Structure 1
Amino acid sequence: MPEWLRAMVGQADKGIESLRTFQVKDAKSPDLGGVRDGFDLLNPHSTAALIQYGACGLASPSSKFYKSKDLLADMDLAALYLVKTQHPDGTIDLLSTNFHSTPDTGFLVKRLTMSYKLIRQSGTEGTEKMLANLKTFLLRAGDALSVGGIHTPNHRWVVSAALTKLNELWPNPKYMARAEQWLGEHIDIDRDGQFNEKSTFIYSSLTDRLLITIGKGLNKPELFDAVRKNLDMTMYYVHPNGEIVTDASGRQDKAIVGTLENYYYPYRYFAIKDGNGQYAAICKLIEKTAGLKTAGFLDYFLTDPSLWVELPTEKPVPVDYVKTFPNSGLVRIRRDRRDSTLIANNPVWFTFMKGNAVLQGVRFASSFFGKGQFQSEKIGENGKEWVLTQKLDGPYFQPYPKESIAPDGDWEKMPRTFRPQSEVQLLETKVMIRETSGGMEIEVVTNGTERVPAAMELIFRPGGTLKGVSKIENTKDAWLLKEATGSYELGGDTITFGPGLALHKNIALRGALPAMEAPTVFLTGFTPFRHVIRFS
């Protein structure tokens, strides 16, 4: 077992220890065997995690839980709890949102089938009883997966991968028929190399892993093409510090801070399978920046020893580029340790990172009829600049047509769409973003209605030090950049920004989004607003 895998085992041992402390051990409790989560909720997912991590411990000679009969007993209690809380139709609940859920059942089955193999292979004394209980849960779940429905695009591949793994243990034509039915819808990948949900931290990497499982198990290597395409694209979504761009996600990972651990298995799988040196380099980056977090995928590696071999020779990955992803509404600009992201259809439309120093978002808003939060439907390219635009109108409304007035005077029966408009106010905002020799610059220009208060927000990552700015009284972490240049430093890296503008202190504009929980520097003015700010 290679050193990197032994490190995973050691980290997984900590997970086993933690999960066992949350397990109900009272023999008189109806919840015996269940595992509580951090919210003190007993649930199938935490309970299944004890089996998943525990199986890795039982099967790993370097684990402190190798062939542990005590751990096996706890895992058996967990399996019994799963059987007890499983619905008659074979499904389980995700207590935070989904009930009688086929896809959440699939998430558990996909990993628990690997656990079943590892427990069986471990040679731990007394596994027969535990495996019998786990098999009961899995076969009941298989009935649900063979007929149940889904919510999201990735759920199709979750269910299909779970059925594929079940079929490897207990072949059943209905498993394969259902998987083939879902696969008949084709893979939801666009020309950019991104899956429908654009969920770079969570669901794109999940889909990569699932398609590998299905492709291997059903002998469908054509599915690997989508995975390779996504992995190629993802190389351009990497920040200099090893984090991944999440700003365009359509799911719950939108704009979160995420690293690349979820991609370690697919990158390693194809680095070895294809002899791909760039993928090998990404693996090394993941080991360096998120190595401990890869332990959550230990079962993938324990059940596939072909991945224990040395990676191929590394080849350079992209670190100097301008790359446009039109289907995701994203432009990526990277210059080694400095990068920027431009985002369409998002109130945060610009980020700037320089090593450890992170400007995690720029927003612009005006108090124009309570709807002045700026965002652009698309990013246009005009020579050497990118252009984002927004056009707003603010009408007033005339008396309702006499023949249509509601006799009882009910306002709701007289919709505004039928009222003539007058005194219509217009406001057009244009943002132009350009690359400079040392960084980026943003020019914001408005045309139309005058004397509208406006504000630009520079939202920095918490933990750093701001200089050259003035604290706005009665705020937690809001600052003004009045004239010259400010700076933000974190971890030895510094972003400078300016010049400033501070014509008022109204930073809570009506209709604008609430301030983020982060140190935020404001530039304020009135329309017609025209200002250029540079970042380096």
Structure 2
Amino acid sequence: MTDFDRAFASRARAALEREVQGIRAESGDLWRRLQHRRLAERVHALAAAWHLTGDSGVLAPAARLTGLLRERQNPGGLFRGGDNVDSPPDSAFSVNDLADAAWLLRGTDEGGALVQLLDGMTPALVKGGVHTPNHRWELSAALARLHRLRPQRAIADRVEQWLAEGVDIEDGLYSERSANYAAAVSNPSLLVIADVFDRPDLLDAVEANLTATLDLLLPDGTVETVLSRRQDQRHPMPLKLFLLPLRTMAILRDRGDLAWAAGIALEQGIVAPAHAATDPVAGRALPTAVPPPVPRERHFAAAGTLVAHGPARTVVVFGGSDYARHRRIRSGLANSPTLLRLHAGDTVLDSVRLSRTFFGLGPFRAGSLTVTPGAATLSETVSAAYYQPLPGDGTGRYALTDDGRFSAAMDFAHRPRDEVTLTTEVQVSRTGPGTDLTVDISGAAVDWALELAFRPGGTMTGARPLGGDRWHLESGTAAYGGLSVTVVEGPRTASESEPGYHPGEDYEFLGGTDAAAGVLLYVTGKAPSRLRLSIV
């Protein structure tokens, strides 16, 4: 083939060879302790190796792994393992690997054994349900692969039922806003569904997400996740997870910018060598790489996120927390209190957060972001109540209810309330070479602490040491690495509390925290007040 990418194929095969060598060196005792998904990944890798090299030595371990998988099947066909019991989507993750393996091994006894195992699982997957948005596409992708092996009208109809809901994407972001699940589940799943069922419209969603990913790509080669509603919201994800979808869509849609990103992803490594080495589209030659323009910025309005890329620095402003609407910390909600992130060469300001001592409600979490030329404004109003007496019958018995912060036998909904309110507005201005931060806090008189968490690797000067990589800037300028932080306008009243971060009752009641790591610089004060910082 004239468009075959030999250099990519060589790297993919080398990565696969290393993986297969590791599998062949493992013991059966280890395999018996592994969950079904880890076993299925190994079967896929061995099948890919046989398909590419014809090495029959990989077939015996593949057969043993298939036998262990059969032992893990429940009576209904689904796999055991994990805390999701008798789970169609969890089994679908393994089926996607096993169906690919069966396709690669077709015509062999080992391939036939896999098809027999998969036939026993198909009815449960056709009728099975899910419990997260991305599971719809993972399950549908497994069904698509089963349909490719043995076409069945029931499979096609079930996939069409899931697709009839519509792909959960807005402004290029899937509803979970998770880089991890976009890379590992939604994008690759939609690609295979589009291929098997001839649905090119699904490629539009994948392309839109990858375009958004380019705008979320940070200078260190990770994808911004502060806006995520899943576990990755505290951990930026490496671009290498997007390698195959980037290559596929760059080729199918002739996108030089996606080819450029695919080059960055490849240099970070190949995380799925069995797929990389056998995918017929991703293995073709890429169009000429074209980096996206700089400067540029993108406002993800529904996710309350602004990413501004400049020649010397990248600024991320986040005001899309779900906390304002749901008033709880929960898996599936965007909870991060990070309001600003800044990359300036080798110096990274990983997180800016505003902590305050206000009824245990935790740090500032903006539920809205307004973007104007050169500025972004975040706002939040929180309140707590003191409750007045209710007429009683002397029994002392009242309904156990929740007041939004805690629960008690107080029948809160029917009591007169005295509200205490705190309103905060934060403006991030991007003018000239620096970033200006203005914080206005009004309402109750409370202590607050603005926390700037720097990625380790520099030396802090100009601030008072608090011990343990913690520093306090009361006035003037502090410098760390290539960034300086200047208090342009400080609060009129000093804080009476020690500088620190308070995660709020949602975490502290459970003995947990979402505190940021790194070198921590604090600027403190007491509300009502205004703070203006210049970060250059």
**TM-score normalised by the shorter chain: which range applies?**
0.7 to 0.9
The answer on 1:15 being equivalent to 2:19 is yes
Q: In the superposition, relative to structure 1, how do residues 483 and 21 fare at CA in structure 2: closer, same or farther (>3 Å)?
A: farther
Q: Distance in 2 between matches of 1:79 and 1:372?
A: 50
Q: Deviations over 1:222-271 (max 9, x none)?
A: 22121222222222111122210111111111131211122221221122
**Among 423, 437, 440, which residue is 1:428 paired with?**
423
Maintained 8 Å contact 1:201/1:260: no
Maintained 8 Å contact 1:145/1:163: yes
Counterpart of 1:159 in structure 2 is 139
Q: In the superposition, relative to structure 1, how do residues 54 and 463 fare at CA in structure 2: closer, same or farther (>3 Å)?
A: farther
Structure 1 segment 105-504 matched on structure 2, within 5 A: 105-120=91-106, 127-128=108-109, 130-190=110-170, 192-203=171-182, 206-288=185-267, 290=268, 292=269, 294-296=270-272, 298-344=273-319, 345=321, 346-371=336-361, 373-382=363-372, 384-398=374-388, 400-402=389-391, 404-405=392-393, 407-408=395-396, 412=400, 413-422=409-418, 424-450=419-445, 452-473=446-467, 476-489=468-481, 494-499=482-487
Maintained 8 Å contact 1:282/1:317: no
**Percent identical residues:** 28
Q: CA deviation at 1:318?
A: 3.5
Maintained 8 Å contact 2:360/2:504: yes
Q: CA deviation at 1:22?
A: 4.9
Maintained 8 Å contact 1:102/1:145: yes
Q: Distance in 2 between matches of 1:332 and 1:210?
A: 27
Q: Distance in 1 between matches of 2:41 and 2:133?
A: 24
Aligned AA for 1:418? H
Counterpart of 1:31 in structure 2 is none
Q: CA deviation at 1:372?
A: 5.0
Q: Distance in 2 between matches of 1:505 and 1:518?
A: 19
Q: In the superposition, relative to structure 1, how do residues 73 and 495 fare at CA in structure 2: closer, same or farther (>3 Å)?
A: farther
- Could you state the TM-score of these two structures normalised by the residue count of structure 2? 0.86
Q: In the superposition, relative to structure 1, how do residues 357 and 105 fare at CA in structure 2: closer, same or farther (>3 Å)?
A: same
Q: Distance in 2 between matches of 1:274 and 1:158?
A: 23
Q: Distance in 2 between matches of 1:53 and 1:484?
A: 58
Counterpart of 1:29 in structure 2 is none
Aligned AA for 2:498? K
Counterpart of 1:28 in structure 2 is none
Structure 1 segment 11-160 matched on structure 2, within 5 A: 11-20=15-24, 22-25=26-29, 35=31, 41-61=33-53, 67-69=55-57, 71-95=58-82, 97-120=83-106, 127-128=108-109, 130-160=110-140
- Could you state the TM-score of these two structures normalised by the residue count of structure 1? 0.86
Counterpart of 2:403 in structure 1 is none
SS in 1 for 2:113: helix
SS in 2 for 1:72: helix
Q: Distance in 2 between matches of 1:499 and 1:205?
A: 43
Q: Distance in 1 between matches of 2:130 and 2:148?
A: 23
Q: CA deviation at 1:213?
A: 0.7
Q: Deviations over 1:338-390 (max 9, x none)?
A: 11111121411111112332222111021122225211110123554221122
Q: CA deviation at 1:151?
A: 1.1
Q: In the superposition, relative to structure 1, how do residues 411 and 226 fare at CA in structure 2: closer, same or farther (>3 Å)?
A: closer
Q: Distance in 2 between matches of 1:358 and 1:263?
A: 23
Aligned AA for 2:67? L
Q: Distance in 2 between matches of 1:267 and 1:76?
A: 33
Q: CA deviation at 1:100?
A: 0.8
Q: What is the aligned residue count?
A: 497
The answer on 1:3 being equivalent to 2:4 is no
Counterpart of 1:507 in structure 2 is 500
